[in-house]
Amino acid sequence: MSQNFDNSQIVYEDNHLFVINKKAGQLVQGDKTGDLSLLELIKDFIKNRDQKPGNVFLGLVHRIDRPTSGLVIYAKTSKALSRLTVMVKDREVKKTYWAVVGKEMIPHSQRLVHYLQKNEKNNKAVVYTKPTAGAKEAILTYHLIKTLDNYQLLEIDLETGRHHQIRAQLSKIGIPIKGDLKYGAPRSNSDGGISLHARKLELIHPVTKENIEITAPVPQNDAVWKACEE
């Protein structure tokens, strides 16, 4: 799993935003593992590249799971950070994911509504089909967009942003994400990641008010992912 950051991961940058295509295994921000996070690595990268003498401001706008790849937004100014934080909370940032799952028979399109409760002990979401005390509503819609020899590619639109939401909801309907042992996949991926990719972001720029649409290429070191993009 890669702990480095290189400039080929930058997919969008201006004075306020820094958007990257995260590799599976990279840590978005520091956690109890003590491993180097992208937040620190990107700060160092900007400091060296721009030859900044003081501290570099970089704020994390949202997270994606460590084994997931794809788009992550960081803010380079406090103004952008505060506005984007509100936009994410108000669901004004549209996030589209791609997920590779097995070839089980499923409807081509489906809106899933579940109730998720985080189990802190094993860092896993427990999924309920009915409203349950302590559980939060989780909603997504998936569309089957490609069929491969052994897998299917789903495009997923999130209506809510819960802990492990896509992983848990797809597992609940019998189609765990490829490589996701925690949620019932039969085997791991060779890179230790899972085949879930934050594919696209659509938002209004928090400062310039332009419409922005950003798409992240899928991991190029994986034959199944490459087949999905062909």
Residues assigned a catalytic role? 65
In this structure, the dihedral spanned by the alpha carbons of residues 27, 173, 226 and 42, taken in order and rounded to 10 degrees, is -10
Torsion of CA 31, 32, 34, 36, to 10 degrees: -10
How is residue 102 annotated by DSSP?
A: -
Measured CA to CA, the distance from residue 197 to residue 97 in angstroms comes to: 6
Q: What is the DSSP string of 168-200?
A: HHHHHTT-PBTT-GGGT-SS--TTS--SEEEEE
106: left (phi over 0), alpha (psi -120 to 50) or beta: beta
Answer for the pair 159, 137: CB distance below 8 angstroms, yes or no. no
Helices (H), 38-131: 38-49, 78-89
